[in-house]
Amino acid sequence: MYDRKELESIRERERRWNQERVKEWLKKRPERAESFRTLSGIEVKRLYTPLDIEDLDYSEDIGFPGEYPFTRGIHATMYRGRLWTFRQFSGFGTAEETNERFKYLLAHGETGLSVAFDYPTLYGYDTDHPMAKGEFGKCGVAVSSLEDMEILFKDIPVDKITTSMTINGPAAIIWAMYIAAAEKRGIPKEKLGGTIQNDILKEYIAQKSYIFPPEPSMRLIVDTIEYGMKYVPKWNTISISGYHIREAGATAVQELAFTLADGFEYVKAAISRGLDIDKFAPRLSFFFNAHNNFFEEIAKFRAARRLWARGMKELGAKKERSLWMRFHTQTAGCSLTAQQPEINVIRVTLQALAAVLGGTQSLHTNSLDEALALPSEKAVRIALRTQQIIAYESGVTDTVDPLGGSYYVEWLTERMEEEAQRYFDRIEELGGVIPAIEKGFFQREIAESAYRYQQEVERGERVIVGVNRYVMDEEIDIPILRVDEEGERRQIERLRRLKERRDSSKVRESLSRLKRAAEGDENLMPYILDCVKSYATLGETTDVLREVFGVYKEPIIF
Amino acid sequence: MERKIRVLVAKPGLDGHDRGAKVVARALRDAGMEVIYTGLHQTPEMIVETAIQEDAHVIGLSALSGAHFPLFPEVVRLLKERGVDDILVIGGGIIPPEDIPKLKAAGVDEVFGPGTPLNEIVEYIRRNVKR
C-alpha cells in the first residue's frame, strides 16, 4: 500500500525508535506485562505501522464497502443508509407471556423479533413429555403446536417485521408452524421475512440441542433451503452460527474458522443436491458472538466477510449477493458476571460497539442480569437502550468502517484470516466437518480453550473486574424474572384440549404420509406443513422423524 | 494411602450448556480426583443410579437452564429413597442468589455460582466429602 522508498524510511525510523526512544523509556517505565495477547492468544505488538501491512493490497484485500471482498462492509453506505436491526432474543413461559414481551420490546423501539424456545421445544418434545419435566418455559417459550405459534404472534404484523427463530433440530417443523400461522391470517409465505437458525453442525460441535444423526439432519436442512428458495424467497433458511461455539469456550479464531467451515459444508451439501449456488446463497445468513477483546472482535468480523466472499467465489458463486456475509451478532453471554451485575451494562456496551464497528446487520445486546436468570423487563430495556445510544448518540454510524486502514486492525484482520485458514486445512485433513465432529475434534479444541481461559482467570492473568480483581462482598439486589409455575399446567391443559378438538384421523394421515416421505428422498417441507396444519403437535411430528432417522448420541469429551 | 475421591459430574435435564461442567470436571481431575462425566440429558433417576453404580463420593450437578428446581432436589430425594446418605451433593450454574438457601434447605450441600474459583470447589469437596 506504500511505495518502497517510503517503507524503507519508516523501517529505519522504527528501528531508531525502538533502539533509542523505547529502550530508554523502558528503563524508567517497564511495561505492565511481558507480553500482551488477544483472547485467541495472538501476541499483540507494542505498535503497528505501515510496515505491518505492507503486503496488503488496498484494492484486492480491503477494497470499498459494497464491493468484493467486502472487508469494509457488504453495503456501500452501511449505517448512513439503514441502521442494523435491534433484535432482542426473548422468550419465556407460555406463548401469551412471550407475546406480551414482544409487544413491550416493539413499543420500546425494537425493530426485529427473535424467539427463544424452551428446552423441550428445542428437542422436539411437547410440554407433557416426561423429559420436559421442570424445563417448561425456563429458557424460552414453549411451542408444542400451531395453536401456540398463533398465540405467540397474535396481533404482531409478521408481514412487516422480520422474525428470527433459534431452533435447530426441529427447525423445519417450527418454520412450518410460522408459515401456517401467517397463512391462516391471510399473509402469504412470499411476504414472510425472517430467519430460522437451522444450523445443526454447530449443535453437534457446541450447543448440543441436536436430535437426529448428521446425515438425515443435513437432508432436512437442504430441504428447507430448497423450499425457501422456491416458495419463501425472503426467508433466511439458515443462520450459520459461531455464537454458541464461542460461548462453549472457543477463541475468536476458532469461532471464525469453525463457523465458516460449517457454512461451506452447507453450501457443498446444497450443491450436491443439484441446487444452483446463486439461487440459494443469498439466503444464507450468519450469527456471531461479540466478546471482550475489542479489536480482535472487529478484526474477526472483517476477516469473516473477506473469507466468505473468497470461499464462495471458489465454490462457483457468480452473483454479488451470493458473496455477501450478512450476520447477526449477540454480545457474549459467557462474559457476564454474577458479581456486581450492574457493571455488565458496560461490558455489553463495548461488545455491542465492536459488533457495530465490525459491520453487523442485526444485534442483540445482553441484559445485565443474565448471569443470574432470564432478563427482567427493566434489564432488557436497558440493553435495548444501549444499542439506541450507540446508534443515535455516539456518531460511530456516520462513516463506513471507521477503523479500516488502522495498521493494527488491518494487520489483525489478516492474521485472523490466516489462522482460520490453518484450521480449514486441519478440518480438511480429518476428512471434512462431519468426520471431524465424529472424531471429537471441534469438541476437544473448544474444551481445551475453555479450560485454558479459566486457568488464566484463576491465575489472575486475565482480569475480570468483580471476579478476580476489585471484588466486593455485596448483597445482590436486582429484580429476578420468575417463570410462573402455573404456566406449565395451563400449557398441558391447552395441549389436552387441542388433542380432543382436532380431527384425529387427519392428524394420523398426515403423520403417516410424512413417515413414508421420510423413508424416501422427497423434500419433506410440504409433508411437514400438512402435519402442522392438521394440528399434529411438535412432539408427534418429531417422533415420526425420530422413528425413521434415529437419534444422535454424542461422544463424551472433557 | 488415602483413597481417591470419586466425583460424578452430571447434567440433569435437557440443558446443553456443558462448558462449566466440563471445566469443573477437568479441574477436579487435575486436583487428583477420579471424575466420571455423565454427558448430557440425564434424568435424576439416571444420575442417582450412576452415582450408586460408580460408588461416587460426590455428585456435582450443573444446570444453566433455570431448571435447578425441581431437578437438584429430586436427585437428593431419590438418594434418600435409596437409603444413601453419604454422597455429597453440590451444584452450580445460572442460579439466582435467592434460590441458593432454598436448594440447601432441600438437601443440596452447596451451590457454586458463576465466577467461583475452581480451587474453592476442590477445597470444599476435600473438606466435606462424607466418607
**DSSP 3-state of A470:** coil
Confidence of residue B2 (pLDDT cuts 50, 70, 90): low
Left (φ > 0), alpha (ψ -120 to 50) or beta: where does A477 sit? beta
| CA distances, B105 to each of A494, B51, B102 (Å) | 34, 22, 5
Angular region, A134: left φ>0, alpha ψ -120 to 50, beta rest: left
pLDDT exceeds cutoff 60 at B1? no
Instruction: Spell out where A50-203 has E strands.
Output: 85-90, 112-116, 163-166, 194-196
Residues of A with CB under 8 A from a CB of B: 119-120, 122-123, 125, 131-135, 138-139, 207-209, 247-249, 334, 336-339, 370-374, 447, 450-451, 454, 458, 464, 466-468, 476, 480, 483, 554, 556-558
CATH number of the domain bearing residue B14: 3.40.50.280
Tell me which residue of A445, A421, A422 sits closest to A205, measured CA to CA.
Answer: A445
Phi-psi region of B90 (alpha: psi -120 to 50; beta: other; left: phi over 0): beta
B106 touching A (Cβ < 8 Å): no
Whether residue B45 lies within 8 A of chain A, CB to CB, comes out as no
pLDDT at A499: 98
- The topology under which CATH files domain A59-458 is TIM Barrel (3.20.20)
Does B22 contact chain A (CB < 8 Å)? yes
In tens, the pLDDT along A112-134 reads 999 999 999 999 999 999 999 88
Beta carbon pairs, A and B, within 8 Å:
103
Q: What pLDDT, in 10s, does the model give residues A187-201?
A: 999 999 999 999 999
Pick from B8, B18, B24, B35 the residue to mutate for testing the A interface (most A CBs within 10 Å).
B18
Asked if the peptide bond before residue B96 counts as cis, ω within 30 degrees of 0, the response is: no
pLDDT digits (tens, 9 = 90+) for B93-115: 999 999 999 999 999 999 999 99
In this complex, do B14 and A373 lie within 8 Å of one another by their Cβ atoms?
Answer: no
Residue B77 lies in a domain: yes
* Contact yes or no for A312/A323 (Cβ under 8 A): yes
Among A135, A467, A480, beta carbon nearest to B96: A480
Domain ranges of chain A: 59-458
Structural domain includes residue B12: yes
Among partner residues A135, A207, A556, which is closest to B65 by beta-carbon distance? Answer: A135
Closest residue in B to A207 (Cα) is B16
The Cβ of residue A13 has, within 10 Å, a number of other Cβ atoms equal to 12
B101 touching chain A per CB within 8 A: no
The reply to whether the predicted model has a pTM over 0.95 is yes
pLDDT in tens, A183-233: 999 999 999 999 999 999 999 999 999 999 999 999 999 999 999 999 999
Structural domain including B40 reads: 6-128
What SS3 state is found at A262?
helix
Instruction: Indicate whether B1 belongs to any domain.
Output: no
CB pair distance less than 8 Å for B66 and A120: no
The reply to whether B64 falls in a domain is yes
The rounded radius of gyration (Å) of the Cα atoms in chain B is 13
Q: For chain A, which ranges sit under pLDDT 70?
A: none
In a domain, B85, yes or no: yes
Q: Does B80 touch chain A (CB under 8 A)?
A: no
> Contact A427/A99 with Cβ under 8 angstroms?
no
Chain B environment of A556 (Cβ under 8 Å): 37, 39
Question: Is the CB of B116 inside 8 Å of chain A's CB atoms?
Answer: no
- Asked if the structure places residue B61 within a domain, the reply is yes
Partners of B17 on chain A (C-beta within 8 Å) are: 208, 247-248
Probe site for chain A from B19, B33, B100 (most A CB atoms < 10 A):
B19
Q: How many separate domains does chain B show?
A: 1
β-pairing, A327-331 with A194-196?
unpaired
Helix axis angle, A441-458 relative to B19-30, nearest 10°? 70
Residue of A nearest to B71 (CA): A134
Would you call B37 and A334 a contact, using CB atoms and an 8 Å cutoff? Answer: no
Element (H, E) at A545: helix A538-549
- The total number of residues shown for chain B amounts to 131
Helix axes A525-533, A214-231, angle to 10 degrees: 80
What is the pLDDT, as a whole number, of residue A240? 98
